[in-house]
Amino acid sequence: MNASTMLGLAPALGWNSWNTFTWDINEQLIREVADTFISEGYKDAGYEYIVIDDCWSLKERDADGRLVVDPVKFPGGMKALADYIHAKGLKFGMYSCAGTHTCAGYPGSFEHEFQDARQFAEWEIDYLKYDYCFKPRNIPGELLYKRMSLALKNSGRDILFSACNWGEDNVPRWIRSSGAHMYRSTPDIQDRWDSIKTLAHSQLDQECYTGVFCHNDMDMLVVGMYGGSNDEFIGRIGGCTDTEYKTHFSLWSLMGSPLMIGCDIRKTSPAAKEILQNKDLIAINQDPEGRGAYRIKPEPQWFHTDEVFILVKALAGGDLAIGFFNMSETRREVSLLFWDLGLPYASGYSLSLYDCWSHQELGLHKERFSPVVEAHDCLVLRAKLVD
Ligand code: GLA
């Protein structure tokens, strides 16, 4: 298989400018993020893409209909920035929109798809996020994502296509066949617990809609933002606790979402860095078989609420990743019966459990496992069958 046929095999790992910086982006920032990928271990942990979101261009195209890079924000131009990022062994992403304008009112790619795809390839980008604002109402979104996918695949460069229509218009039914490598299934995330909880709940029992080459994108991470966005909607005050960020990262990892960091990695906390660089969680997220995670309702059933659930992801080679989530306001026991994993007692197998957050072995267990999980917290295990 050549390289291009492998694009999008695993969920993308990277950083995106939107959550923290929104419109306030520039060349220096992007270079410093690339430097930080190397100096702070993000590249070693597997993060690869550095993506500039909305607000990078001028408000009008030039006389030939070309997109124009904002010369104040990016005086060296995009090709030079791509070179800088590539020289570090990283990949470079940009943003456009299926409509006439981007969500922030800059030119979109509607009716300019092939021209823009060629332009992006000339700048040597590796990733395009493609938004959904200002889409003419009578044009099906499905067609517009097919158009840009075709344009990118014929641009002469491998460009990962990240569709972003917020879960609208039955997107999971048609996005895989359009050629996109990932697709947003949710509205925009905010840097607060309620938002994490709502987005995660909306994706429970949707595991058939993710997989290799077209991953369910639950939106960029807010881990490590602590209310530090310059945008009021995303969240300027409060943010979340480290426990909540840990649960957020565990959910996105298990559910197979791309992991696109949204905080200012140049100055986030050691705790957030540890969460973002948890190699056991990243390995689960990047498992080569790319299976979605199914939900098990914990025992006893009369005790069940949607706020407490177990997610299970079948991994290549026969291990299972198992997450115990307590989204409620009180400490809870979250009991898993191994029968519900397809493992009957009579099989003779035990599960050898490994805790992916404490990085400790938890020994051999038979028939059931019943951890107590604090409010807003989780436990993520890697389980191996042992006879
Ligand atoms: C939409 C997207 C966001 C971000 C903004 C930019 O809201 O969903 O992720 O790209 O547009 O304006």
Indicate if 128 and 55 belong to the same structural domain. Answer: yes
CA terminus-to-terminus distance, the chain: 37
Indicate if 60 and 87 belong to the same structural domain. Answer: yes
- Positions of the chain with pLDDT under 50: 1-2
The DSSP symbol for 267 reads S
> In a 10 Å sphere around its CB, with 0-12 CB exposed, 13-18 middle and 19+ buried, how is residue 196 labelled?
buried
Q: What pLDDT, on the 0 to 100 scale, is given for residue 1?
A: 44
- CATH number of the CATH domain containing 370: 2.60.40.1180
Structural domains counted in the chain: 2
CA 325 and chain centroid, separation: 19
Q: Is the peptide bond before 187 cis (omega within 30 degrees of 0)?
A: no
- CATH number of the CATH domain containing 174: 3.20.20.70
Q: What pLDDT, on the 0 to 100 scale, is given for residue 4?
A: 59
By alpha-carbon position, which residue is closest to atom 11 of ligand 1?
A: 103
Calpha distance 43→161 (Å, rounded): 21
Indicate if 254 and 235 belong to the same structural domain. Answer: yes
What separation in Å is there between the alpha carbon of 131 and the centre of ligand 1? 7
Q: What pLDDT, on the 0 to 100 scale, is given for residue 2?
A: 47
Q: Which of 257, 285, 313 is the last residue of a domain?
A: 285
Q: Which range of residues forms the domain containing residue 44?
A: 3-285
The DSSP symbol for 31 reads H
Calpha distance 219→65 (Å, rounded): 31
Indicate if 231 and 319 belong to the same structural domain. Answer: no
Among candidates 373, 385, 294, 371, which has minimal Cα distance to 340? 294
Indicate if 249 and 136 belong to the same structural domain. Answer: yes
Q: Is 188 a catalytic residue?
A: yes
Q: Find the residues whose C-beta lies inside 6 A of ligand 1.
A: 18, 53-54, 102-104, 131, 164, 166, 188
Q: What are the tokens at 270? A: 């050691």
Q: What pLDDT, on the 0 to 100 scale, is given for residue 235?
A: 85
Among candidates 85, 118, 91, 218, which has minimal Cα distance to 164? 218
272's CB contacts (< 8 A; 6+ apart) are 223, 224, 226, 242, 245, 263
Calpha distance 101→341 (Å, rounded): 47
What separation in Å is there between the alpha carbon of 100 and the centre of ligand 1? 15
Q: What pLDDT, on the 0 to 100 scale, is given for residue 287?
A: 98
Q: What is the pLDDT of residues 27-63, one digit of tens each?
A: 999 999 999 999 999 999 999 999 999 999 999 999 9
Among candidates 251, 275, 273, which has minimal Cα distance to 264? 273
Phi first, then psi, for residue 112 (nearest 5°) are -125, 20
Q: What is the pLDDT of residues 129-176, one digit of tens each?
A: 999 999 999 999 999 999 999 999 999 999 999 999 999 999 999 999
Report the SS3 class of residue 365.
strand
Indicate if 203 and 334 belong to the same structural domain. Answer: no
Indicate if 320 and 269 belong to the same structural domain. Answer: no
**Which of these is catalytic: 70, 188, 231, 355?**
188
Q: Is 131 a catalytic residue?
A: yes
Q: Is the distance from CB of 51 to CB of 129 less than 8 angstroms? A: yes
Q: What are the tokens at 14? A: 């990277």
